[in-house]
Amino acid sequence: MNRFIKILWSVFTVAGLVVVVIGLILFFNICNYKNKVDTIGIITDTDGGTTVAYNVDGKEYESKMSGYSTNFKVGDEIEIYYDKNDVSKIGSKSLDLLLLIMPGIGSIFLLIGVIGLSVVLHKERKQKRLKENGKLIYADYLETILNRAINVNGRHPYNVIVQWDNPEDGKHYLFRSNNIYFNPEKIIEDRNIKTFPVYINPNNKKQYVVDIDDLTKKVVDLT
């Protein structure tokens, strides 16, 4: 499931990036005003779009503009532009700005994906360092609980809870495993697992990782 979470955040990141790029390309293509001339037009129709009448070099034109606002009313004056090479092509700079909504939405997805992926990868690196450099202890298995704080596709993950009695200070320490997206209780019972390895930072016992690889490496969850 950790792989699924990484794929999920990666999809958010890639999808957001694609939407941002496409949105910006559309914006800059449409908003290239080099060959466009500003003028004033009169709205003549708002049915199925916005039809505008305008004057170019003393000649009257009437064209439909791509874009519409609820503020538009027949008879209103509106600032528009027309293309020098084809005066029948018109637009409105104020409406063009709405094109930024697309890359704006894409940026939100991109940000969510990058943050989510960064958190997952940072946690993986941190736990890898603990397994390589941390102090190895063995903690007694207490119970398996359902983590109702997290819901992925309508499913709550499980956590293995273990306890370590520290002989140095006489205190009892409880550790929680990473999320497991299947109930490991039967495996623990069948294998008669009494203890789990835990890697801790001796200087900060809040930094730890419960090693549950023996529970997960031989399980393929197809549900």
The domain in which residue 161 lies consists of: 134-216
Task: Kindly state the average pLDDT of the residues 144-153.
Answer: 88
Q: Note whether residue 193 is domain-resident.
A: yes
How many Cα neighbours within 13 Å face the side chain of 115? 6
* Residue 29 pLDDT greater than 90, yes or no: no
Confidence (pTM)? 0.61
Task: Kindly state the average pLDDT of the residues 160-174.
Answer: 94
- Please state the domain count of the chain: 2
Q: Note whether residue 191 is domain-resident.
A: yes
Task: Kindly state the average pLDDT of the residues 171-176.
Answer: 95
Residue 43 and residue 83 in one domain: yes
* Residue 172 pLDDT greater than 80, yes or no: yes
Task: Write down the pLDDT at residue 200.
Answer: 96
Task: Write down the pLDDT at residue 2.
Answer: 63
Q: Tens of pLDDT along 72-93? A: 899 999 999 999 989 999 998 8
Task: Identify the domain boundary among 43, 78, 102.
Answer: 102
Q: Quick one: pLDDT band at residue 153, thresholds 50, 70, 90?
A: confident
Angle between helices 101-133 and 2-30 (to 10 degrees): 150
